Amino acid sequence: MTWTKKLLQLNDVLSDLVPDKDGIIKYAKASGLKPQSMGLGSNVTDIWNTILNEADKSSKIDTLLKSVLDAYPDNLYLKSALTSQEIDFSASPDIDDTADWQDVSDETLELLTMEQSTLLPVNFLAKGVLKSKSVGKVELKIGNNRYSVGTGFLFKIKEVDALFFITNYHVINDKKDIERTRIIFDYELDVDDHSVPSRSFKIDPDGPWYSSGIREYDTTIFQLIDEADRLAEYGWIELKEVEITANDFVNIIQHPKGEMKQISLYHNIVTHTDDRVVQYLTDTLKGSSGSPVFNSDWEVVALHHSGGGSKPGEPKLPEGIKSRNEGIFINKIIQFVKENCKM
């Protein structure tokens, strides 16, 4: 089997959607494969790798995808994988290459079993909805029916009189891509589960362009063209310097896999901080790059940029909890904006 970029991403998506061996075996059998004869191991990614290899040999990739789609009918990537359209998830950097990932502590594991209260005032939800208006999907056309996707958000800081949009450097980093990129707001569902009419904006090619590489702040900042004065409808998130410590809770508003806007609220615990990064346990998927990471007061504490599976020797997490997610500490990004705006 030739592992194209599309199939590699499919392996990642399936591993995220169905992260348990029994579930994988169920879908494999439903597509006419015989997983019992494949000698499957215990690592989810490796199991899906084996299943996809066998499906390819038997010309059953589409059959396998359709069996999974029965359970996830709205999954954008699975649907596109059955067509000529290809979606690139702006592959985030390998967390092992960009940071020193700290182990999950026993104290954090205690918190995950609800030793700490997660009660919040009900207006927490209303505040989150207001913040979510400023979060948009980044879509970069990279070929015929092929798109690279990510997330970003509108922001301001008090010391600078300008409205900016921010995402990751690995999502968009070349000004040559401006014409092929659009930022989409309101790509989400309303309270009746109906699609909200979305609106897209182009990047201002003559406006500011501040970027910082993956190993520094993994950040690209620019302005949007707003000739009809419509951006005001989406407001902005005010960035200010904050404090964040291990075992704080965080929440992420995102467009995982380029799908409609979603929020990760459960079991989101900070495991490590330093003067550059914030590391946390939470649910993110490909396409979440560039999402705002909020604390419980809906203040942005980080710009999400990378994630991964557990590493050898890491404490075993409760079932369903994902590890190794990381964002760039927002204080560093605020300093970065101020330094560039003085130029």
Please tell me the distance from the alpha carbon of residue 209 to that of residue 32, in angstroms, as a whole number: 51
Strand partners of residue 154: 165
> pLDDT, tens digit, for every residue of 114-127?
455 667 788 988 99
> pLDDT, tens digit, for every residue of 195-228?
889 999 999 999 999 999 988 999 999 999 998 8
Is there a contact between 203 and 181 (Cβ–Cβ < 8 Å)?
yes
Which candidate, 289, 269, 288, places its Cα nearest to that of 220? 289
Tokens of 158: 């008090």
CA angle 93/97/103 to nearest 5° reads: 105
Tokens of 31: 């597509």
Domain 95-125+240-335 shares a fold with domain 136-237:
yes
What is the mean pLDDT of each successive set of 10 residues along the chain, which is 343 residues long? Answer: 63 76 88 82 76 85 88 75 65 60 60 57 90 94 81 94 94 94 93 90 96 92 94 96 89 82 76 85 69 94 79 60 78 95 69
| CATH class belonging to 136-237 | mainly beta
Please tell me the distance from the alpha carbon of residue 121 to that of residue 129, in angstroms, as a whole number: 14
Is there a contact between 290 and 167 (Cβ–Cβ < 8 Å)?
yes
146-157 and 237-238: which strand pairing? Answer: parallel
Quote the pTM value.
Answer: 0.73
Say what the pLDDT of residue 113 is. 46
Other C-beta atoms closer than 10 Å to the C-beta of 159 total 10
Domain 95-125+240-335 bears CATH identifier 2.40.10.10: yes
Please tell me the distance from the alpha carbon of residue 129 to that of residue 132, in angstroms, as a whole number: 5
**Domain map (residue ranges) of the chain:** 5-83, 95-125+240-335, 136-237
